[in-house]
Amino acid sequence: MISSSTTDSFTPPSLDVARTGISLAKPRLSRFSVSVSAASSQSSSPSLSATASDEVTGEWELDCYSRPVLVEGKKKLWEILMTDSSGNMRICRALPSNKVNSREVRRVVEEIIDESDVKPDTIRFFRGAMFNMINIALSEIDVIAKPSRCTFALAQWIEERNRDVYPQMKGYQPTMSGIGGMGATFLDIRTAVKLPDALRGEKYAFVGLPLAEFIQGGAISGDNIGVGRLCLVDQSLPADSIVQGVVILTSRANALATWLAGTEVAGLKSDLRKRELVMETDLDNQYLMAKLNDDQRKEAAIFEEGKDAMNGLHFISVQTDENEDPAGFWLLREIPANL
């Protein structure tokens, strides 16, 4: 059993997979199994109007950045992309290269909001390189601006445009691709900080659930994930694939789930070199969840391989024990660094 340290010195808990009674091969997580609803898993065409089957949410996602296209062979193409968390609204506005500033971004965002039947209460943006400009632009709009890597619908759309749209445009420059402005760089020298003592789990386990649980007809929906959230699921992934995840078992499940709901939890990463399980939040924050011994490092390697096979898709479940439904469940996707 893994116990939390109550002393001032921090010794991260190790992962105890055997004692949880959960294995990677099991198709279900105890009596809890989970699927993204049809509305949130679709990748629909751009729309400003919400319908019964095609609803736009109040959580929007924004990107303002240059694209791998030269306009008239000289200047980079700049775009503002706006979508909502369901991916049902998609709006692209070109931005003149001499008007890439917070004032122009604010004008475009306000224009999109005015034209939309559904108004945003939150706008997320993920590019650290554009933080100041976007943050200033949103500061004078009546929304909550959240720098966050939880821009899953936006990332999926940018990937589609990088694959299907920009290569077809006149002036496309493939060598300009892959220079996105994520918070961290390829030389990642960040150090994970410890979780608050009251939020450490007593047990952790690497587990797996079938992708079928997360698509239309599956068991996981917004009704049974506690205070968690579900990202979009790529419909091209095989339904019989296994989504890797980590279960956190703790008597403080409600407190931990509530804390996670209040932060922008973006995903989990196993640092095999440092032998650490790390939680990623916001733009570039990291929290140390557990140290990995040799056996756990092997489980972590399987976890990372599974994430790669599923384009970064994985999950976190916070539970009191393996027989209880989650206090919080998050289906997440590691956002590619080359957007």
Domain residue ranges in the chain:
18-30+185-333, 44-176
pLDDT at 189: 60
Low-confidence ranges of the chain (pLDDT < 50): 1-53, 183-187
| C-alpha to C-alpha distance for 323 and 140, rounded to whole angstroms | 47
User: Strands across the sheet with 276-281, in order?
Assistant: 193-194, 285-291, 276-281, 265-271
Count of beta carbons in the 10 Å neighbourhood of residue 139:
11
Predicted TM-score (pTM) of the model is 0.82
Q: What is the CATH number of domain 44-176?
A: 3.30.420.10
How, if at all, do strands 122-125 and 144-147 pair? parallel
pLDDT at 187: 46
CB 233 within 8 Å of CB 46: no
| C-alpha to C-alpha distance for 264 and 148, rounded to whole angstroms | 6
| C-alpha to C-alpha distance for 67 and 167, rounded to whole angstroms | 11
| C-alpha to C-alpha distance for 131 and 147, rounded to whole angstroms | 7
CA distances from 89 to 115, 148, 215, 225, 229 (A): 12, 19, 20, 24, 19
To the nearest 10°, report the CA torsion of 72, 78, 83, 88. 10
